[in-house]
Chains A and B, each alone.
Chain A
Amino acid sequence: MVDNLEQDQEIDLEEERVLDAIAAELPGISRDVHQLIPVLQKIQHIHGYLPLGSIGMVAAHFGIPGAKVFGVATFYNQFRFNPPGRHPIKVCLGTACHVKGGEIILENFTRRLGIEEGETTKDREYSLERVACVGCCALAPVVVVGEKIESYVTPSKVEGVITEIEIQNEIAEREKAKDEQQSDSE
């Protein structure tokens, strides 16, 4: 419980930071409504998501109603309203990947991570998304983990992908601990 509370507070704080950053960036951008989608893309590109609070700010910037910006942002697949995980996982469900069992792969991630598609794990480590064709159909089924494309994915490879990230994390943690120890002893 306490953990969750702390995490939630952390998220609130982060969202505040993001909103402040957006408020600082907006004035430099053209107010031509043709720029609406590019601006939303830019915010998402920098911060990883569109905090709901930013919708009103963007609306005020362009001098258009919040409902309109909300309508545009919710129309397109690209925009997300919650922060992505540190390791965003995108499972391809394009035609070729579907035929080769992409759905089963998605299901395995869902089960393994305990989240549904479109969600982020509580610890913000992973987020899960479905995408339609990343353009390597010849290597189907395909999963994009972070920037890396994993090809010919099987349920056991799902396990492998997560384990690999966990190991990497643990190594990083140990190094950090070591560093801290060193700096402590200095």
Chain B
Amino acid sequence: MSSNPTPSELLSELTQAAEKQWQALQNPAVPVIYVGHATCGRAAGSQETIDGFRDALAEKGIEAEIITVGCLGHCYAEPLVTIHYPGFPPLMYQKVGAGEARVLVNSFLQGGEDPCFEYLLGALEPNDTFPTLMDYPRYLYEKRVIMDQCGLIDPHSLDHYLAVGGYQALAKALEKGDKWVVEEIKSAHLRGRGGAGFPAGIKWDIARQAEKTPKVVICNGDEGDPGAYMDRTLMESNPHQVLEGLAIAALAVGASRAILYIRAEYPLAVSTIEDAIAAAKEHNLLGERILGTDFSLEVSVFQGSGAFVCGEETALIQSIQGNRGMPQYRPPYPAVEGLDGLPTVINNVKTLSTVPSIVRKGSHWFKAIGTEKTPGTAIFSVVGDVEYPGLVEVPMGVSLEHLIFEVCGGIKDGKPFKAVQIGGPSGGCLPESELSTSIDFDSLRQAGAMMGSGGMVVMNDETCMVEVARYFIDFTQHESCGKCTFCRIGTRHLLEILTGLTKGEGSDDDIAELQTLSEETIIGSLCSLGKTAPNPVLTTLRFFKDEYLAHYREHRCPALMCRDLIAYYIDLDACARGCDACVACCPTEAIFTTSNRKKAIDQEKCVKCGECVYACPPEYDAVFKVSPPEMIPDQGIKPLDEKKEENNE
């Protein structure tokens, strides 16, 4: 028996060929073009970019290899293209459309003359000639553990993953055994990245010691937060890392079945993961008797049907069982009694993606990153009014201020910062005074926000906090499963009050009700959806009370956002004669010409879409917003045709 090869030996056989191929790619004979082709890249037009390269290369008869990769996190710069031209370091270009692709082919790929500095983002390796990506302030703070290989390897190539050390952790885990793995994850103090921050090692241990078999592990890729997409990126950009983590989790708890629960709205993630499963099975990395051992794991994908609440673990289980996704009272916890009554471990995509590097590099390495209570890194999708929206991975403990102003380049167009919503619909809205808060589960919760899903929306002073609270409550009340009283009816009342406020209706009593009903819904609800839904209301009430008061006491929206409380008008002194830019853009034909041939807005017809503000040429900048609407100055406007009619009479 001892002559049987060990998992490591079997793996290294697989890896050798992959490494050779990878080495060749690092020193290419022909140019290699990497195109970011995950969902965000595709949205920005990466398919056209690829076609552009293909056509231009064919025209010029240049030989080059095109490799599609995942997302690097620099979503603001998509479509992202990296060109590795022999003799040059790999160079990354931003916003490469079909036209830019053509230019790059003509000037750079044809003979390597002009590397097109105008589109260059930076080189991927240190060198003497080009600025590198590492020179950006972003890299001072970023630390990539989970997203290490995202955007650099081809997600559809098992070989790429193997060449960068893939599945070595699985082989190691297979050799060291389940107890060792659980202890290692426990001592790494890996906390679940799905929101609650529960220690993964403890969860695994509970399931490992549960008597009932078979056991199940589930990867939670439901990602329902409307503004977070890091799980999707991980599944699309490095699917094998997720699978390896899942397999290690299964090994640790003794599960024979693994399910990846992925939203049906993420078709690319689903197909990428399915391909990866097939490839891993083919090479004995999943499926029967993995790497020659007794450990077998059946892996499947279940597509979530679009209900935010199904991210909650008990609801998720219900939906796999073919039921309505309604959360169940815990205990029993799924780790003891989960899918079909079997012990079930559920972990987030990010949690599982962290596992391989911990197993490979050891818990000490992991604990050196981040804070003592929460080691490791956090991934945020930072969107809204920042200069560089996208995905960032920072060590736990970095302050919000550094994240927003250094890593993401601060507020767009130099506008003032107002608030940041962290943790999606279950999180909270923090103002400037809280920017020194450190990013980890406990500090954020203390400040009233939540790590949650890791969605982060940065807002400038043009965003109304009452409206933001209304938006999130609208979302949660729409997504409430409707099972328990507080969440089903309570959030509906909160929405009703908030909607009133955005229209300028309300009273001091309403504000008091908002506060108490929020607090009671948090205590009274059955699951964490209801228990966290009022957070945006409570934090905005706490930090932006004045804004609430202005809405119902003065019928004024200080941020000029709530459409019932604002009006647009055209300043006749600023308006140029005869330019019809605003007239042409108005979707409801609300803009007319005045008796002195200037423009004015018919308030009855105006739907307050704001289009005319953008249409008005910057040299005139004549369209203004006011709140309350009565503030429109009286400019003695008479419509032109009205006057004509008068003359006719």
A residues with a Cβ closer than 8 A to B are 33-38, 40-41, 71-72, 75-79, 93-96, 98-99, 101, 104, 107-108, 111-112, 131-140, 142, 149, 151, 154-156, 158-159
Contact = CB atoms under 8 A, between A and B. Distances in A.
A101 B610 contact: yes
B421 interface: yes
A112 B607 CA distance: 13
Interface in B429-488: 455, 457, 459, 463, 468, 471-472, 475, 481
A96 B227 contact: yes
Contacts of B228: 133
Given A75-B307, A95-B225, A136-B39, 20 more contacts: A34-B320, A36-B322, A37-B319, A37-B320, A75-B324, A76-B319, A78-B305, A95-B424, A99-B457, A111-B588, A132-B226, A134-B43, A137-B229, A138-B75, A138-B390, A149-B43, A151-B43, A156-B611, A156-B615, A159-B587
A155 B227 contact: no
Interface in B295-354: 302-303, 305-308, 319-325
Contacts of A77: 305-307
Contact of A149 (B42, B381, B383): B42
B568 to A, nearest CB: 13
Given A78-B264, A99-B457, A135 B232 contact: yes
A137 B305 CA distance: 21
A139 B381 CA distance: 13
Given A75-B325, A135-B40, A95 B383 contact: yes
A71 to B, nearest CB: 6
Interface of B: 39-40, 42-44, 75-76, 78, 224-229, 232, 264-266, 302-303, 305-308, 319-325, 381, 383-385, 389-390, 421, 424, 455, 457, 459, 463, 468, 471-472, 475, 481, 585, 587-588, 607-611, 614-615
B609 A104 contact: yes
B457 A96 contact: yes
A132 B305 contact: no
A36 B614 CA distance: 49
Contacts of A111: 587-588, 607
A108 B305 contact: no
Nearest to A112: B587
Contacts of B463: 99
A79 B383 contact: no
Given A34-B322, A72-B324, A107-B609, A137 B587 contact: no
A49 to B, nearest CB: 14
Contacts of A96: 227, 383-384, 389, 457
A136 B43 contact: yes
Nearest to B326: A75
B44 A41 contact: no
A34 B321 CA distance: 5
A94 B325 CA distance: 21
A34 B259 CA distance: 13
B609 A108 contact: yes
Contacts of A76: 305-307, 319, 325
A159 B460 CA distance: 28
A143 to B, nearest CB: 11
21 contacts: A33-B322, A36-B322, A37-B305, A72-B324, A76-B305, A76-B325, A94-B227, A95-B226, A95-B421, A96-B383, A99-B463, A104-B608, A107-B609, A132-B224, A133-B226, A135-B229, A137-B229, A139-B40, A139-B43, A142-B43, A156-B611
A132 B303 CA distance: 17
Given A33-B321, A136-B75, A140-B383, A38 B389 contact: no
Nearest to A137: B383
Contacts of A71: 324
A30 to B, nearest CB: 11
Q: Which of A94, A108, A134, A159 has the most CB of B within 10 A?
A: A94
Q: Which 9 A-B pairs have the closest CB atoms?
A: A95-B227, A76-B305, A36-B322, A132-B226, A94-B226, A77-B306, A136-B43, A137-B383, A138-B75
A34 to B, nearest CB: 5
Contacts of A131: 265
Q: Which of A99, A132, A142, A156 has the most CB of B within 10 A?
A: A99
Contacts of B609: 101, 104, 107-108, 155
A78 B304 CA distance: 9
A110 B39 CA distance: 27
B76 A41 contact: no
B528 to A, nearest CB: 18
B165 to A, nearest CB: 28
Contacts of B588: 111
Contacts of B608: 104
Contact of B40 (A36, A93, A112, A138): A138
Contact of A72 (B39, B323, B610): B323
B610 A95 contact: no
A179 B511 CA distance: 67
Q: Which of A35, A95, A149, A156 has the most CB of B within 10 A?
A: A95
A159 B42 CA distance: 23
A37 B259 CA distance: 15
